[in-house]
Amino acid sequence: MNTSDSNLPSNFIRYIIDDDMKSQKFQGRVHTRFPPEPNGFLHIGHAKSICLNFGIAREYQGKCNLRFDDTNPAKEDEKYVQSIKEDVEWLGFDWGEAPFFASGYFTALYDCARQLISKGKAYVDDLSPDQIREYRGTLKEPGKESPFRNRSVEENLDLFQRMKTGEFEEGAKVLRAKIDMGSGNLNMRDPVLYRILKAHHHRTGDEWCIYPMYDFAHCLSDSIEGVTHSICTLEFEDHRPLYDWILNTLEVYHPQQIEFARLNLTYTVLSKRKLLQLVEDGHVDGWDDPRMPTLSGMRRRGFTSNSIRDFCERIGVAKSNSIIDLALLEHCLREELNKTALRVMAVLRPIKVILTNYPEGQTEELESENNPEDPDAGSRKLTFSRELYIERDDFMEEPPKKFFRLAPGKEVRLKHAYIIKCEEVIKDEQDNIVELRCTYDPDTKSGQVEKSRKVKATLHWVSASHAIDAEVRLYGNLFTSPNPGDEKECPELKDALNPDSLEILKDCKVEPGLADANGDQPFQFLRLGYFCLDPVALAQGKRIFNRTVTLKDEWAKLQKKAKG
RNA sequence: UGGGGCGUCGACAAGCGGUAAGUCACAUGAUUUUGGUUCAUGCAUGCGGAGGUUCGAAUCCUCCCGCCCCAGCCA
């Protein structure tokens, strides 16, 4: 892992760093940071940033800090700190001895603010929030200066000190930078640097009642930590002049801010606000609902951190707004799971099959490979018997042309077992198919020399008396719209919800070995998809399988096409 | 003329003046005891548009068009 030569696709950020290395701008150092606000759960979009920041540090043998941007006690909480640390760790990154906190710099930041005041570059403003907005002007018209803008340094120092001691109410005063109310960049129109917030902070408790704003805290935190490249998303591009202004005015070490486009994914939303809405409105079961694009949700769903890292590498890093096809994420997932998942047989919607020519009471043990992609995965014994279950979808009474599976008079192979032929369809009074009577061909046992006829399909099955019961949950996209995050396409998020994003199947039959499964092993339910044991249910002693992702399905594609 | 960005295949994305990488998706065929995997083949005479510079332009210049972000005491 000591590479700077990697065969990863390059990107504009790497070029900037390469140039900086050449020019010795930062004495050959590379130091990045991942700066989440602990006010929510991390999602796949954060993973892009994590992989970028930690990945670059690793590649250039530099460092990457995990820094919590905890400057707004009203919204932040220790529990988020915990989950963020878990997620970063799970993704496979190491932030060194300890994480950093912007709140750890509150004293230093306060001193910086005083210096700014002393330089005549900041002032205490008594304007109300509404007045500040009014005075700011609009996009096209310049703002006007606050009547408090020209207070003396002494008065400002005194007032700021009294803000700190709690003398004033929330909203009564703020500290503002004195820049340019006529700037075309709204961020430069005397931005607020400090506000009064009489809130309990999860780390500093009640020590402070003034808190720095993002723009003030972030650049200085970067500076204090010796960050070289401060990588953030595009919406902060407008803030860069302010980032630079603060650092220049204070004449302190000056990292370089670089902006890239945040991740968007088809059929999902990645804004904290919208994700929160899904949770609060009860459309999902919580932040770790397996349908959520949160790292905790994806982990529970069965995503591997490998596949997420692979995905983040493949999508690249650029400055154009884009939306990545979910299919790419799924591809990365399948690619890994194909190599690692143990193949097992599970029948989700069972229909009984009786082998009329198989002796009652007889069973036999069939050798079954665990993973054709991995010989080291070995094999297991499966019990075959007279009464089996197969998948309801694998039988059709009146099969269309390209249906290769079981139908009256048709033959299929049972995986690892024999070729069977459907002789009779048994129905109840309501005309529902309840059972299939089939015969098996003893000469076609799996593994025998290839003398038997070819058959067009191979089905998965379980032995009726040996299989165990299981609940299986199938997940689909949360949204039917490819771009639910787009306010124009989807003004009402809930209108884009997919009513079929969760299907719970309670009467599934799975092979008996699955009784011993633990939560760490991914499975491929043969011909169906990749599954994992739901860790939340498992902790409660229940066995529920989550479908991580389907297998690619040529037949499903054909059917879809046929329907139009 | 408010400021800041961005426009290369259906989706991403390399390319940085020498004649359009790669990935996903899609299509076709082969192999297959998973309609999985794997393999092979195809998929931009074209780089938002129009001019210009040049022997040569996606790359440089000019103008135009389109899209995104900004008016929190959020980050």
**d(CA A337, C1' B41) / Å:** 27
Query: Rounded to 5 degrees, what angle do the CA atoms A353, A359, A364 make?
Result: 80
Cβ of A366 near strand B (distance < 7 A): no
Mean pLDDT of A347-362: 98
Residue with tokens 């249906």, as numbered in its chain: A403
pLDDT (0 to 100) of residue A361: 95
Which nucleotide is closest, CA of A526 to its C1'? Answer: B34
CA distance A288 to A298: 8
Q: Which residue type occupies A5?
A: D
Hey, what are A62's tokens? 């530099």
* pLDDT of amino acid A562: 86
Which residues face A262 on adjacent strands? Answer: none
pLDDT tens figures, A278-305: 999 999 999 999 999 999 999 999 999 9
- Spatial separation of the C-alpha atoms in residues A436 and A458, rounded to whole Å: 17
What is the predicted pLDDT for the residue at A77?
A: 97
Model pLDDT, residue A489: 87
What is the distance in angstroms measured between the alpha-carbon CA of A317 and the sugar C1' of B20? 20
Torsion A443-A446-A448-A450 (CA) sign = positive
pLDDT surpassing 80 at residue A371: yes
| Residue A223 CA distance to nucleotide B59 C1' (Å) | 36
Distance, in Å, from the CA atom of A308 to the CA atom of A325, rounded to the nearest integer, reads 14
pLDDT digits (tens, 9 = 90+) for A303-320: 999 999 999 999 999 999
| Residues A449, A558: Cα–Cα separation, whole Å | 33
Question: DSSP letters of A1-42?
Answer: ---SS--SPP-HHHHHHHHHHHHTTTTT--EEEE---SSS--
| Alpha helix positions (H), A42-95 | 44-59, 78-90
Considering only residues 467-496 of protein chain A, which place a Cβ less than 7 A from any atom of strand B? Answer: 488
Task: Tell me the pLDDT band of A2, cut-offs 50, 70 and 90.
Answer: very low
Percentage of residues of chain A with pLDDT beyond 70: 98
Residue A100: pLDDT over 70: yes
Q: Is the CB of A274 under 7 A from strand B?
A: no
- Average pLDDT (A384-413) is 97
User: Measured in angstroms, what separates residue A216's CA from nucleotide B54's C1'?
Assistant: 49
Cβ count within 10 A of residue A559: 13
Q: Does residue A37 have an active-site annotation?
A: yes
| Residue A19: CB atoms within 10 Å | 10
Q: Is the CB of A416 under 7 A from strand B?
A: yes
Q: Which domains does chain A have, with CATH numbers?
A: 3-260 (3.40.50.620), 272-342+472-563 (1.10.1160.10), 346-460 (2.40.240.10)
Query: Out of A262, A319, A380, A421, which one is annotated catalytic?
Result: A262
Tokens standing for residue A412: 């299929």
- Contacts of residue A270, Cβ cutoff 8 Å, sequence gap at least 6: A43, A44, A45, A262, A263, A264, A293, A485
ipTM of the complex: 0.97
Q: CA–C1' span, A93 to B58, in Å?
A: 38
Distance CA A270, CA A103 (A): 27
Q: Cα–Cα distance between A243 and A259 in angstroms, integer?
A: 13
* Closest listed residue to residue A292, CA positions, set A19, A459, A475, A109: A475
The answer to whether the C-beta of A381 is closer than 7 A to strand B is no
Q: Which nucleotides of B are covered by protein (CB under 7 A)?
A: 2-8, 10-16, 21-27, 33-38, 67-75
Nearest nucleotide by C1' position to the A413 CA atom: B33
- A66: how many CB neighbours lie within 10 A of its CB? 24
Instruction: State pLDDT tens for residues A190-210.
Output: 999 999 999 999 999 999 999
- DSSP reduced 3-state for A349: coil
d(CA A133, CA A98): 40
pLDDT at A454: 86
Strand B neighbours among A 92-111, CB < 7 A: none
Question: What Cα–Cα distance (Å) separates residue A186 from each residue in A139, A141, A183, A233, A291?
Answer: 7, 10, 7, 18, 38
Percentage of chain A surpassing pLDDT 90? Answer: 94
Task: Please tell me whether any atom of strand B lies within 7 Å of the Cβ of A37.
Answer: yes
Q: Strand B: which residues 291-310 of A lie within 7 A (CB)? A: none
Query: Is the pLDDT score of A466 beyond 50?
Result: yes
The answer to whether A52 and A312 have CB atoms below 8 angstroms apart is yes
- Mean pLDDT of all residues in A502-527: 96
Name the residue closest to the C1' of B68 by its CA: A321
Q: What is the reported pLDDT for A453?
A: 78
Q: Is A262 a catalytic residue?
A: yes
Separation of A271 CA and B31 C1' (Å): 45
CA of A483 to C1' of B43 (A): 25
Q: Is the CB of A316 under 7 A from strand B?
A: yes
Across the range A522-530, mean pLDDT stands at 98
The two counts, helices (H) then strands (E), for chain A are: 14, 25
Q: How far apart are CA A52 and CA A46, in angstroms?
A: 10
Tokens 């099969």 identify what position?
A399
- Categorize the per-residue pLDDT at A448 as very low, low, confident or very high, splitting at 50, 70 and 90: confident
Asked if A28 CB < 7 A from strand B, the reply is no
A10 CB below 7 A from strand B atoms:
yes
pLDDT greater than 50 at residue A403: yes
Task: Find the residue closest to B6 using CA and C1' atoms.
Answer: A320
A538 C-beta neighbours (distance < 10 Å), count: 15
Flag whether pLDDT at A7 surpasses 60. Answer: no
Give the Cα separation of A230 and A219 in Å (integer). 9
Distance from residue A230's CA to nucleotide B19's C1', rounded to whole Å: 38
Round the average pLDDT of chain A to a whole number and report it: 96
Q: Which residues pair with A427 in a beta bridge?
A: A433
At residue A6, the pLDDT reads: 47
pLDDT, tens digit, 9 for 90 and up, residues A215-226: 999 999 999 999
DSSP sequence for A356-410: TTSPTT-EEEEEEES-TT-GGG-EEEEEEESEEEEEGGGB-SS--TT--SB-TT-
Rg (CA), chain A: 31
* Distance from C-alpha of A103 to C-alpha of A69, rounded to nearest angstrom: 8
Residue pLDDT, tens place only, A159-193: 999 999 999 999 999 999 999 999 999 999 999 99
Asked if residue A451 keeps its beta carbon closer than 7 A to nucleic acid strand B, the reply is no
SS3 A421: strand
Closest nucleotide over all strands to A182 (CA to C1'): B2
Helical pair A240-250 and A106-118, crossing angle rounded to 10 deg: 80
Q: For A147-160, what is the HEC assignment?
A: CCCCCCHHHHHHHH
